[in-house]
Amino acid sequence: MLLRDLSERGLPLPRIRILSLEEKKDLIERELKEADLLLLNLMGRRAYERVKEYLPSLKEKKAFIFGLYAEGSYDEEMKKLGIEVDPTIEAYNRESSPENLYNLYLYLLRQYFQYPLNPSPVKRMPLFGVYDCDEKRVYSEEEFSAFLAKLEGEPERLKRPKIGLTFYRNNLLNFQTEVICKIVSAFREEDIEVIPAFGYPDARVLERVFLKGPFRIRALLGLSLKVGIKPEEVVSVLTRLNVPLFNLIIPYEGDEETYRNSKLGLGIMERVWQIFTPELIGAISPTIVGFKRKEINPETGEILLTEIPYSQGISSLVKKVKAYLKLQEKREGEKRIALIYYNYPPGKQNIGAAYLNVLPESIWNILKGLEREGYNLGEEFSRLSKEELKEILFTYGRNVAKWAPSEINFLAQSGKILLLPLETYETLFEELPKAFKERVIKDWGSPEDAQIMVYQDERGKKFFLLPLLRFGNILVGPQPSRAWEQNLDRAYHSSLLAPHHQYIAFYLYLRKIFQADAVIHLGTHGTLEWLPGREIGFLEEDDPEVLLGEIPDIYPYIVDDVGEGLQAKRRGMAVIIDHLVPPLKKSSLNPDLKTLKALLGEYRALKDKGSELSLSAKAEEILTLIKKLALDRDLEIDFSKLTQEKGLSQEFLEKIEDYLTELEEAINPYGLHTFGKPYEEEDLEETARLLSELTGSGTKEDYQRVLRESAERELRNLLRALRGEYISPGPGNDPIRSPESLPTGKNFFAFDPSRIPSPRTYELGKRLAYELLEKYREKEGRYPEKVAFVLWAVETIRHEGIMESQILSLLGVRPRWDERGRVIGLELIPEEELKRPRIDVVMTISGLYRDLFSNLVKLLDEAVSLALTSKEESPLKRNQKRLKEELKRLGVKEELAERLSRVRIFSEEQGGYGTGLDTVISASHTWQRESEVARVYIRRMSFLYGQGFWGEPFEREGNYTENLKEFLFKRNLSGTEIALHSRATQVFATLDNDDYFQYLGGLTLAIRTLDGKSPMVMITNLSDPKKPYQESLSKFMGREIRSRYLNPQWIRAMLKEGYAGARFIDKVVEHLFGFQVTNPEVVDERTWRAFYEVYVKDKYGLEIKKYFERAGNLHSYQSLIGRILEAIRKSYFKAEREIMEHLTEEYMETVAKVGLACCEHTCNNPLLTKFITKGYLSISVMNKAPLEELREAMPKANQGEGGRSIEASKNRAPFNGFQRVKGYLLEERKFSSSKEGGGISGGGSIPYLYLFIFSLFALSFFRGYLRR
């Protein structure tokens, strides 16, 4: 229009060119050289940084340079480079309607190029107002009364529930209101009135329009509330509004077709402002409601973006909002709530969550809270005790794997749980999105083919078992198993697995049949938010969206695991209610270490007296105990280099004494937390004292107050969330690192990832990188050439970029920051300043890190590219050149070979999470050599990120017929000399969950498999934020084992937690086995012997087995013993015969008393079963009572009742133990289902258990024992 008007007036036509940041460098350079006037967007500095190098030449030729959006960005540097600020230009730009932009061009031509033009003054839009889609009219703040009068004239609209919608003023200036009005009309069809409002600042809009204005709203939709907000001001208003805030998203990058064809989801560079910023103010349920259609003006090159509604997303939004309105409207007694806990992998011993006493304490506390609030839990619940509730849930509310069909029969025939007919499910399944159904059928077959939790009655009718227990209007039960362990072929060969049919049936039942008003996913963490699909920003076919749909998701989550909690918020649409960590205390020395400490004191006393003979004997005693306790492994003591000719050196004594002091002063969690329950007074006082001492802020009394407040807020805010109210946000983290994470009960958030790392953090990381290199050089006499890192989102949130800073430092690169502290680029550290080679760095990142910190993935990739531009030779450049030449020899084209050889970041496939090692290592009967496990890690973690790749399948290229991405990953891992991970929490340690051995252990195992030796495995220990340092994994884990798991003080606290504490101890042994397989340097026979002596032999007299039994979780004791026996079977623990017999006796006694746990290794490991059978057949049974129990219990594992009922273990004869048999010859018989190191078990029935049962039958002369 402008050019046409100028042409009609006979004026020279200016050449107008509009450039985006995505333009190629040569185009930008060419256009700027020809420019006579430049308008430069200063907001965020990205455009400024992109063109800064060209500004001096523009200034020199006297071109006009004006900054746009200069407020808060314009600085002295810009001024020196010739950038000016013209208030009139800014005014036109701020009011950027098409009419105002037209007049802006007229103004520029008149003011700076002397065109005879008369631009109209700036036409201003009201700063605040509401928009009426019917009239296409803006009502300013002064006109609210007119808008209200209009509503009063339409009674139907006036009486409807009202919700607010905030949008940007620019939407009106640019006539971009189609999405807004589509949302308005969609809600109006459901008899809900939407009030669209705009203005700046956001807090002022919310306060004037919705809080103090005439409109009382029930929910708030945020199309804006993203850029330039002041969170504390907005939260203050939202708290007073007390309505849920929904995050509405229109992706900036890509139209609907492009978005739909991508697995990525929301663009990498927009995740900060579209997702993170709204979380700071408590926004929930990020929902796509529109897309941008891109058109290019052929005259100017201007990119025109038109916002187009996304109908399915708007429909989903309407359903979600209506669900929250229903929570506000319904009386508590009418609400239907599903309380979901975790029992994965399946097993009677495995109900629980991270550092939370789920069964029974937290479940009981929540249900009692609901009862007090007026929820209908039925008469049965009012008569139950806590212990009776636990027995009911333990007996019936659990998942059962397909290898235990009798357990399925028992549950199905109990009459206690829900059975969903197959034909009902098929009808519901058919209604699901086509793309979703295709993925499910590909992985699991049709519904008719389903095998997991399926029961067929005597008439041949099939049902899905849903182990949900109903108490009035409340359902309680376990989230379905993810079932990798029941589809081991996929576990070995795939990185993605769709939810199975029973998993789908579970959530469809909650939505479609039970019609739950809300679900509570109890504790850290479930599997729904980890299902395949787009990383962030779902469409209708993404798995979590299909399954949970519109149901409000309330999610109690541990405050120290923000990273995984964000996944629940972003992919599970959850409202987080964060909860406390367990009480924290200083450790004490266990009895063996106290003995060692005493011996050291005696040695020093003897040395002072000069008693050489006694001194030598005492030294021998000390060294023997050190070796027995494996302290030499922790402290890397080489006994061959120790000489006692002159006694133990002062250096040696101090090394041991310092380590004992570290152990005494270690801060550890004691026991578990119960949701909504305050600490015991003694625990409260000790934790408060430690927080005051370690944080250096606040008094003990201050922390006692916030800890008490935390417990009260947890339950109160859970109940408020169930009323559809606003849950205030706040930071999460380890309370010692971040005392502001208290009190709990918040909808927690992380921090701004665009500020990682800060200048202070970078300097700290730089120092730690230097320490790492020096430790290696001290040991090896040179710098390492290659270092491999493990990066986790949960850790980065805790340490705020220290690991990333180490990577940058090793590469010889440092960040550049703007005046607001945001990272805006990188610069190469000159060789003369670096004074060492640039180290080659390989980064293995978790899928969660990829999702949450995609900006850092991009930054680290840019760091590698920048380091490769250095002139000097380095390990990085040598390895890159070598790999490129190798790729070219394989037939890969030059340009692609260059890109591939630069990739240094690897992770899971797009939409995939986890290495798979937890499943494969647990299924230890399916592999003989650790190299088979390493192949799973390599297969799952070999997807490329950076250099233009983002986790896409990339397998073959050129002449290479194998998997090219795996080839690249292996080449990058080979030659690694240090493997490094971090720990930045006082709560979680290496054996608390399986993630540590999956990632750091998997990395080490892969390197050892490729190179024949393990790298130096190190931990950046950040648990004390004031004293970060590098240490070996051996020492880090050794300290953990001695101060926690082999410490009677810690064990007593955990045993007091009952069922949940027993489960926790069992999980520790499970994870120890994981480290045994992946990092054998840190777990050896002495470790297994120590665990046997403490937990089975009960060397400290803690009555451990009695505690397990009283807790109703003898299955955890059985599982623990089974895991130690498996370590023996796999030759990791070469135990003496007495130990083997004792373990076998204990294992068989638990089977006799409570049946089998039916977890992976107790019910689905034929080789372990055979191994135990062999040991058992050498033992005589003098007491028939246990054999009677075995007669009942063992068939139940695959035929009969399948477990312990509520009445189990009553009136039974005492167990008197086993005695050895003399004169029996053990004859080994082979059977087809249990080949040594055999193939992958497909589950189903378990004939090897029949052999076990038959052996017992033959030995004890029982008849009629075996059935079916």
What is the per-residue pLDDT across 959-1010, written as a single tens digit (0 to 9) for each?
Answer: 666 789 999 999 999 999 999 999 999 999 999 999 999 999 999 999 999 9
pLDDT of residue 955: 66
CA distance 437 to 540: 12
| β 462-466/418-421 pair status | antiparallel
Phi/psi for 34 (5° steps) reads: -95, -5
pLDDT of residue 301: 63
Q: Is residue 384 part of a domain?
A: no
Please count the other Cβ atoms lying within 10 Å of the Cβ belonging to residue 938: 23
Q: Is residue 711 part of a domain?
A: no
Residues 19 and 134 in one domain: no
Helical pair 854-867 and 802-811, crossing angle rounded to 10 deg: 20
Residues 780 and 795 in one domain: yes
Phi/psi for 331 (5° steps) reads: -70, 150
CA distance 1014 to 1082: 11
pLDDT of residue 44: 74
Please count the other Cβ atoms lying within 10 Å of the Cβ belonging to residue 53: 12
Whole-number percent of the chain with pLDDT over 90: 76
Judged against a pLDDT cut of 80, whether residue 1189 lies above it is answered with: no
pLDDT of residue 299: 62
Please count the other Cβ atoms lying within 10 Å of the Cβ belonging to residue 614: 15
Residues 1106 and 1007 in one domain: no
Domain final residue pick, 638, 665, 692:
665
pLDDT of residue 775: 96
Q: Is residue 746 part of a domain?
A: no
CA distance 1136 to 501: 46
pLDDT of residue 916: 95
Query: If you average pLDDT over residues 662-690, what whole number do you get?
Result: 96
Domain final residue pick, 1034, 1068, 1101:
1034
Torsion of CA 1148, 1149, 1153, 1158, to 10 degrees: -30
Contact between residue 667 and residue 591 where contact means Cβ atoms under 8 Å apart: no
Residues 1059 and 1190 in one domain: yes
Residues 599 and 500 in one domain: no
Q: Is residue 170 part of a domain?
A: yes
Residues 1053 and 1137 in one domain: yes
198: domain CATH number? 3.40.50.2300
Contact between residue 1216 and residue 1186 where contact means Cβ atoms under 8 Å apart: no
DSSP characters over 886-902 = HHHHTT--HHHHHHHHH
Domain final residue pick, 1008, 1034, 1060:
1034
Contact between residue 491 and residue 394 where contact means Cβ atoms under 8 Å apart: no
In SS3 terms, 471-537 reads as ECCEEEEEECCCCHHHCHHHHHHCCCCCCCHHHHHHHHHHHHHCCCCEEEECCCCCCHHHCCCCCEC
Q: Is residue 693 part of a domain?
A: no
Please count the other Cβ atoms lying within 10 Å of the Cβ belonging to residue 9: 10
Residues 150 and 256 in one domain: yes
Q: Is residue 1268 part of a domain?
A: no
Query: If you average pLDDT over residues 659-674, what whole number do you get?
Result: 96
Residues 69 and 186 in one domain: no
1194-1204 burial: b if 16+ Cβ within 10 Å, else e: bbbbbbbbbbb
| β 905-907/840-845 pair status | parallel
Q: How far apart, in Å, do the first and last CA atoms of the chain sit? A: 86
Domain count within the chain: 6
Instruction: Give CA separation, 618 vs 614, 622, 795, in Å.
Output: 6, 6, 44
- Among 25-34, 192-201, 731-740, the least confident range: 25-34
Residues 971 and 1106 in one domain: no
pLDDT of residue 991: 97
The pLDDT tens digits for 451-479 are 999 999 999 999 999 999 999 999 999 99
| β 574-579/553-558 pair status | parallel
Average pLDDT, the chain: 90
Residue range of the domain that includes 526: 331-360+396-551
Please count the other Cβ atoms lying within 10 Å of the Cβ belonging to residue 413: 12
Residues 956 and 1095 in one domain: no
Residue 1205 binned pLDDT confidence (cut-offs 50, 70, 90): very low
Contact between residue 747 and residue 764 where contact means Cβ atoms under 8 Å apart: no
User: Which residue type, as a one-letter code, is found at position 841?
Assistant: V
How far out from the chain centre does Cα 331 lie? 35
Contact between residue 1064 and residue 1113 where contact means Cβ atoms under 8 Å apart: no
pLDDT of residue 529: 97
651-686 burial: b if 16+ Cβ within 10 Å, else e: ebbeebeebbeebeebbbbbbbbbbbbbbeeebbbb
Residues 539 and 595 in one domain: no
Q: Is residue 733 part of a domain?
A: no
CA distance 843 to 862: 13
The pLDDT tens digits for 409-459 are 999 999 999 999 999 999 999 999 999 999 999 999 999 999 999 999 999
Both tokens of 30, joined, read: 């060419």
Residues 500 and 646 in one domain: no
Q: Is residue 691 part of a domain?
A: no
